[in-house]
Amino acid sequence: MRLIPREGELLSAHCTLGVGGPARFFCEARGEADVIAAWRWARDRGVPLRILGGGSNVVVADGGVAGLVVKMVLRGLTARAVDASVELTVAAGEPWDDVVRHAVERDWAGLECLSGIPGLAGATPIQNVGAYGQEVSDTIVAVRALDREQGAIVTLGAEACVFRYRDSMLKSGAPDRYAVVEVTYRLSPGGRPRVRYADLERQLAMRGVATPSLAEVRDSVLAIRRAKSMVLDAADPNRRSCGSFFLNPVVAPDVSGAVEARAGDPAMPRWPEADGRVKLSAAWLIERAGFTRGQRQGPVGLSTRHALAIVCHDGATARDVLAFAHRIQGTVEERFGVRLTPEPVIWTA
């Protein structure tokens, strides 16, 4: 097939932050053949190939990016019974919350706590999307992707993806090798929802729900996320963000102890990890370092509802976003000795 990319497409229009310059070349992929054609087009011209999903986890430089940007708009969901489970196969361009709603409406357990997360299904295995006690690595059985080294579509099992907290081989092990085109999740028909997160337990208790259904868990998760401006809402003044801008740091026990000592607060939130390390709250560290919700630095600032979200206002640039993020990182590190890691991908030329 013949590919004719557009030139100079402004990427700010394709990202939730609403900042960023143009792509040198831009096209949309509506099927696997389009993805392969884009790869060949970029290879033959010696230009970089970048994959764009929903734009909810990327900061694009003001100068834009060189090469070809491929926006994934592949659609489709199929399901098949496998023993006592259902395997739901989802095209990379499906909006993620639509996928969760699809599963919950059919009483298939495994994704309900991941309701309301912006972005597309293809991004979920890359950063091992998770929230409120669930991660997609709990259910993913296969990832279908373009292997740019082979120039062919391959299927990766869950083990090959090497999932970790908000990470995978696709993100940090071989970040430029695979372009996800399809993901398969194994779900449990009639399964019970997973409720093991304090905020979710409190929200359900407030509603008087003792034994929640999948739909009730989904409703509660959406309510929590809306209260934190963590769902896409055109009327929300905090809407121009990437959601959580920083990962919760996972540290050795002695580091956790040192942070507690610096904070002078034995009630510091922390969660033990299976490997013996301790997960800390990035939002708590940011606020204890002196930042407040709604605090501004020119045309960017923190969300008025959540200290983890950096929000763009009129006139904001990517440079403004990154400068504010660096200020937060530096202040938290100076105060607590912990360096926060950004969650979004930073695209530069």
End-to-end CA gap in the chain: 28
* CB contact set of 106 (below 8 Å; sequence gap of 6+): 79, 86, 189
Which neighbouring-strand residues pair with 143?
Answer: 156, 183
Q: Tell how many helices (H) and how many strands (E) occur in the chain.
A: 8, 20
Nearest to 322 by CA among 304, 295, 344, 289: 344
Q: How far is 286 from 136, CA to CA, in rounded Å?
A: 27
Instruction: Establish whether 149 is a catalytic residue.
Output: no
Marked catalytic residue, from 244, 256, 270, 288: 244
Instruction: Establish whether 166 is a catalytic residue.
Output: yes
Marked catalytic residue, from 166, 186, 225, 240: 166
CB atoms within 10 A of CB 307: 26
Long-range contacts of 319-327 (CB under 8 A, 24+ apart): 319/62, 320/19, 321/17, 321/19, 321/59, 322/59, 322/346, 323/297, 324/297, 324/300, 325/245, 325/246, 327/297
Instruction: Establish whether 115 is a catalytic residue.
Output: no
Tokens at 167, concatenated: 């990470």
The catalytic residue positions are 166, 244, 343
